[in-house]
Structure 1
Amino acid sequence: MTNQQMNTDVILIGAGVMSATLGTLLKQLAPEWNITVFEKLDAAGEESSHELNNAGTGHAALCELNYTKELEDGSIDMSKAISVNEQFQVSRQFWSYLVEQGLIKNPEDFIMPLPHVSYVQGEDNVRFLKNRYETMIQNPLFKGMEFSDDLEKLKEWLPLMMENRTASEPLAATKIDIGTDVNFGSLTRMMFDNLEQQGVDVEYNHVVEDITRRPDGRWDLKILDTKNNIRKFQSAKFLFIGGGGGSLPLLQKTGIPESKQIGGFPISGIFMVCNNPEIVEKHNAKVYGKAAVGAPPMSVPHLDTRYIDKEKSLLFGPFAGFSPKFLKTGSNMDLFGSVKPNNLVTMLACGAKNMGLTKYLVEQLAQSKEQRMEELRSFIPDAKEEDWELIVAGQRVQVIKDTPEEKGKLQFGTEVVTDEAGTVAALLGASPGASTAVHVMLDVMNRCFPEEMQEWEPKIKEMIPSYGVALSENPELFKEVHEATSKSLKLTK
């Protein structure tokens, strides 16, 4: 085994959609910077970003009921829905810019138009959905949303779900046609292909073994080239850790104070995939329901049309599973290895407060295929077992952290951790993740490159015309950018 020592400006760990996005942004804003990427697998977008390891929803809060909350007075708090939608619009604008500049081609290979539908059963849920609809359509971001509790209209919207259904309780749905299905694996691979063409050094089959900080603030990484059995040492001014579930152990290796009192809890996703083309053709939407009581937000049931390699498919789930691995290709020691003296109390406090989640996971793990089929039949009444098979999707590590209000709070969402000097950043957490990658990476850059961001602002506004503007408060600008991105991304005929 030989050693190699090299220096660079920026190191990105992980070849997923987050590193692809940050690398692409930096190459547009600071093309002279040298960037090196280390990925432990043999290709880009093979873990959390892979098309079969996530739901492929362009998360814009058009159908996800967990982004709106009913308050005690009956009103709807849609602040999170607005925030998520605004962030997705930023992604759309950046992707459009890449297409228009020829940096990525054939947008239909990674994004397709697809109606987004919210579907509920029961009188209380129907009332909530109607209230939600009446609140949301007042905002320009959700213009075009429709509501119906009429069975004939629901048959028109959701023919597969209404077929042979005997409605024993009220049903309702909202539908909006501006939703999307996004193949984040394909998008990730496109961006990395372009980065390599621009001279970015992307090293596959490279495992980061250790991370240390020099007295001058630079970061030293010890890396193992597993294909050639060569150990390398690389130094960089700035380090980004975008390793999906594997980010937490790497963040802990930095030793920064901000990495303390943070833990992670892995949850697996299991989907049912339809293998009958006749059934697949009867459904054309992403249909989200309501999560079961005690279920984590990532377990909201949904019946999704997917486009993978331009082939139409149908998925239902997710069902929660458990593995101590932090990555699908990780180690069974990941969870145990992440427990440190500085986060043990934090994780124990979380565990004590989330017994309901533990119970839910145990019940999910104990389910037979027939029990999962019964859940599917709440969406498709006459679903047959022979038409569906189970696939294991990706691992998601939910963040556990101390907050001013709570010890050991279980976080559902995306978390960015940076050091005080802005020399290192790590991306933790899960959904809406990939859909909001551009917004999240701009947040990283604001924290870590505040002086450069002032210089970069004109270029950022060229790439993202709405940068710094709330589209929900500027309906004319929203209409303009939405129409422009729809045209560039070939989302309109």
Structure 2
Amino acid sequence: MSNEQTKTDVILIGAGIMSATLGTLLKELAPDWEIKVFEKLEKPGEESSNEWNNAGTGHSALCELNYTVEKPDGSLDISKAIKVNEQFQLSRQFWAYLVNRNLIHNPNDFIMSLPHMSYVQGEKNVNFLKKRFEALSTNPLFEGMEFSDDPEILSEWVPLMLQDRTLNEPIAATKIDSGTDVNFGALTRMLFKHLQAHNVELNYKHSVNNIKRTSDGHWDLKIKNLDSGIVEHHKAKFVFIGGGGGSLHLLQKSGIPEGKHIGGFPVSGLFMVCNNPEIAEQHHAKVYGKAAVGAPPMSVPHLDTRYIDNKKSLLFGPFAGFSPKFLKTGSIFDLITSVKPHNVLTMLAAGAKEMSLTKYLIQQLMLSKEQRMEELRAFIPNAKSEDWDLVIAGQRVQVIKDTVTGGKGTLQFGTEVVSAEDGSIAALLGASPGASTAVHVMLDVINRCFPQHMKEWEPKIQEMIPSYGISLVENPELFRELHASTAQVLGLSESIVNQTHNVSGGTRVLEKA
């Protein structure tokens, strides 16, 4: 054991997309600060950020039906869709800045243009989708969206989905060509390569075992080198806990009051992946359906074209699984050891409230491959079992906390930042839209934890992210300009711009005659 203690400005725990993004932002804002990264695994981007563990949708609310909620009066609340879309635009702008400055290269290795579609069956769902289309398509952020309930048009959009389909109920879809597929694993590796070239110390196979505050207000981290077995002590002014599902335990060890009364519920995901390249070649879109009645938002079925290592793949899912681990590489004791005296009532309340989720998970766990194939056939009617394999995706930990609206033990389906009052430590918890909104989330961390620097940093933030602090929905011309310029830099199709020239109002309704 080593008693030697090294001091640094910033320690980032976990080498995923969040730490990579925060480290890159801080390197631009405070180039002289010393930054160290500690990761338990042997390379970056191996847990939730990995391309096989992450849907890579580039979540921008173009196709996710659960971001637009029908209100009791029948109207639609599109505020979450607008919020998520604006947040993704910040990511696009920051990535374009990095490419422009030659800090990262070859953007098509991590981002590709890909149509985003919503697809529904049944009269009630078709009416909902049309209403959603009407609410979104007049909004500048969703210009270029098309709607159709004509099977002939749909068979042009998604031929694989219409092949051999028996049309005994109405079907409809929306399509918008400005969607993207993002390989967050590749992006994470690029960002860490950039950070390493700019004197950021990356320590792989290092496990953070404990965090405690020192008398001078800094943080002492007890870290084990997994190769040598030596335990080291590292001291930092600021610590970011970005270890995916592993963040909750470290937040609890920090002892900050803000980390109390918070629990976590792990859910694992399974995907079907097509092993027949001829079939994968027939589909070119991310198509999101509607979650089954009573199913949680995380279960929205989607048929995704993916580009992984520049190779086209086709995935369908997710199917939920259950493991008590908080990370794919975690321990089976993760869930039980996260229950503490301060959060036990919160956890018990969630257990009582979420019986339907428990039932759903049990049902999902008991599905045979053939039953999963039946769900896939709602999207691809003639799907053959031998063309599809099962892949275990990432482990996500849904946050459980007491809220004003939901009461004690409310399950949260989003991304949460928990930070100390003095801003010396912050932790990232939760799940989707996560990686897609990493830049927004890390700007929030910077705002909370470094308020004393914000006045000095704001001009640089605006240089990197031109719409920072500006509502794009209220500034449509700025949105179009930034969307076009980032598309050019990132090698994406400028479909919004093109379609606003070609189509009246930027939208088309394509219906049966």
Structure 2 equivalent of residue 329 of structure 1? 329
Structure 2 equivalent of residue 476 of structure 1? 477
Structure 2 equivalent of residue 399 of structure 1? 399
Structure 1 equivalent of residue 443 of structure 2? 442
Structure 2 equivalent of residue 26 of structure 1? 26
Structure 2 equivalent of residue 246 of structure 1? 246
In structure 2, distance between residues paired with 1:136 and 1:267: 31
In structure 2, distance between residues paired with 1:348 and 1:99: 48
Alignment-mate amino acid for residue 92 of structure 1 = R
Structure 1 equivalent of residue 264 of structure 2? 264
In structure 2, distance between residues paired with 1:188 and 1:240: 16
Q: How does 1:292-303 map to 2 (within 5 A)?
A: 292-303=292-303
In structure 2, distance between residues paired with 1:263 and 1:294: 23
Structure 1 equivalent of residue 488 of structure 2? 487
Alignment-mate amino acid for residue 469 of structure 2 = G
The alignment partner of 1:415 has SS state of strand
Structure 2 equivalent of residue 160 of structure 1? 160
Structure 1 equivalent of residue 419 of structure 2? 418
Equivalent pairs, count = 493
Structure 2 equivalent of residue 59 of structure 1? 59
Alignment-mate amino acid for residue 326 of structure 1 = F
The alignment partner of 1:407 has SS state of strand
Structure 2 equivalent of residue 350 of structure 1? 350
Deviation for aligned residue 1:400 = 0.1
- The answer (yes or no) to whether the contact 2:178–2:493 under 8 Å persists in 1 is no
Residue 374 (structure 1) aligned with residue 380 (structure 2)? no
In structure 2, distance between residues paired with 1:71 and 1:403: 21
The alignment partner of 1:486 has SS state of helix
Alignment-mate amino acid for residue 213 of structure 1 = R
In structure 2, distance between residues paired with 1:242 and 1:460: 22
Deviation for aligned residue 1:147 = 0.3
Out of 227-236 and 8-17, give the one that drifted further. 227-236
Deviation for aligned residue 1:454 = 1.1
Structure 1 equivalent of residue 340 of structure 2? 340
In structure 2, distance between residues paired with 1:129 and 1:294: 19
The alignment partner of 2:307 has SS state of strand
Deviation for aligned residue 1:63 = 0.1
Alignment-mate amino acid for residue 64 of structure 1 = E
* Per-residue deviation, residues 130-187 of structure 1 (Å, max 9, x unmatched): 0000010111000000000001011010100000101111100000000000000000
Deviation for aligned residue 1:294 = 2.1
Deviation for aligned residue 1:73 = 1.4
Structure 2 equivalent of residue 73 of structure 1? 73
Structure 2 equivalent of residue 208 of structure 1? 208
* Per-residue deviation, residues 197-231 of structure 1 (Å, max 9, x unmatched): 00000100000011000122100000000012111
In structure 2, distance between residues paired with 1:285 and 1:336: 40
In structure 1, distance between residues paired with 2:295 and 2:186: 30
- The answer (yes or no) to whether the contact 1:377–1:383 under 8 Å persists in 2 is yes
TM-score by length of 2: 0.95
Structure 1 portions without partners, runs of 5+: none
Alignment-mate amino acid for residue 443 of structure 2 = L
The alignment partner of 2:287 has SS state of strand
Alignment-mate amino acid for residue 199 of structure 1 = N
Deviation for aligned residue 1:4 = 3.2
Deviation for aligned residue 1:5 = 1.4
TM-score by length of 1: 0.99
The alignment partner of 1:442 has SS state of helix
In structure 2, distance between residues paired with 1:292 and 1:416: 30
The alignment partner of 2:314 has SS state of strand
Identity across aligned pairs (percent)?
Answer: 72
Deviation for aligned residue 1:298 = 1.4
Alignment-mate amino acid for residue 305 of structure 2 = T
* Per-residue deviation, residues 82-130 of structure 1 (Å, max 9, x unmatched): 0000000000000000000000000000000000000000000000000
Structure 2 equivalent of residue 273 of structure 1? 273
Alignment-mate amino acid for residue 417 of structure 1 = V
Structure 1 equivalent of residue 501 of structure 2? none
Deviation for aligned residue 1:404 = 2.3
Deviation for aligned residue 1:492 = 2.6
Extract structure 1 runs of 4+ deviating beyond 2 A: 1-4
Deviation for aligned residue 1:3 = 4.0
Out of 426-435 and 397-406, give the one that drifted further. 397-406
In structure 2, distance between residues paired with 1:396 and 1:296: 14
Structure 2 equivalent of residue 463 of structure 1? 464
Structure 2 equivalent of residue 86 of structure 1? 86
In structure 2, distance between residues paired with 1:53 and 1:3: 37
Structure 2 equivalent of residue 453 of structure 1? 454
Structure 1 equivalent of residue 12 of structure 2? 12
Structure 2 equivalent of residue 174 of structure 1? 174
Alignment RMSD, CA only? 0.7
- The answer (yes or no) to whether the contact 1:12–1:240 under 8 Å persists in 2 is yes
* Per-residue deviation, residues 359-409 of structure 1 (Å, max 9, x unmatched): 000000000000000000000001000000000000000000011231111
